[in-house]
């Protein structure tokens, strides 16, 4: 993962809410589950205790990852985006040169990527290939099926 993770203000707030929920709701619940399992006797043969400890470990790892992501997050302000070239948070309309199929994607940070919503990661092959390009450019993207050529038709917000 890169050192800096670019996110929108909404994604940053969502990440903060998720971390708060983990710390205030899920962590105490995990501690209660461990305490309840501990009361059931011999810890060497207590599968419930082992499962509760494992769940707590997974939760702590998720919280640590989220804290790291929040620390390295940089909020991108849509009003400061240069739409003369493809950059994070821009919407780019591209046409597949071979099939003539046109699609529009928004280039977003890893945390916000959702292909069904038309949001591609800045770190995806297409996202990387489009960054910095301008309208009219033809870019070659290395895909699992081979090289695909896309023409940039429009860039906006």
CA distances from 49 to 23, 36, 59, 60 (A): 21, 8, 15, 16
pLDDT tens digits, one per residue of 70-114: 898 888 777 778 888 998 889 999 999 999 999 999 998 887 888
Q: Are 108 and 88 in contact (CB under 8 A)?
A: yes
Claim: this prediction has a pTM higher than 0.75: no
Classified as helix, coil or strand, 9 is helix
pLDDT value of residue 1: 43
The answer to whether residue 2 scores a pLDDT higher than 60 is: no
Query: Which structural domains are found in the chain, ordered by start?
Result: 5-75 (1.10.287.180), 79-156 (3.10.50.30)
| Extended beta strands in 36-90, E state | 73-75
Spatial neighbors of 65 by CB under 8 A, at least 6 apart, are none
117: three-class secondary structure by DSSP? helix
């Amino acid at each position: 993962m890169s050192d800096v993770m670019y996110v929108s203000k909404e994604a940053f707030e969502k990440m903060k809410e998720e971390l708060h929920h983990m710390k205030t709701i899920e962590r105490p619940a995990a501690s209660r589950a461990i305490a309840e399992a501990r009361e059931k006797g011999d810890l060497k043969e207590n599968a419930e205790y082992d499962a509760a400890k494992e769940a707590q470990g997974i939760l702590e790892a998720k919280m640590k990852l989220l804290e790291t992501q929040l620390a390295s997050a940089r909020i991108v302000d849509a009003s400061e985006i240069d739409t003369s070239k493809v950059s994070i948070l821009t919407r780019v309309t591209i046409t597949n040169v071979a099939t003539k199929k046109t699609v529009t994607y928004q280039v977003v940070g890893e945390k916000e990527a959702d292909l069904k919503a038309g949001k591609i990661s800045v770190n995806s092959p297409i996202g990387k290939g489009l960054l910095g390009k301008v309208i009219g450019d033809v870019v070659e993207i290395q895909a699992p099926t081979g090289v695909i050529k896309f023409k940039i038709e429009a860039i906006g917000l």
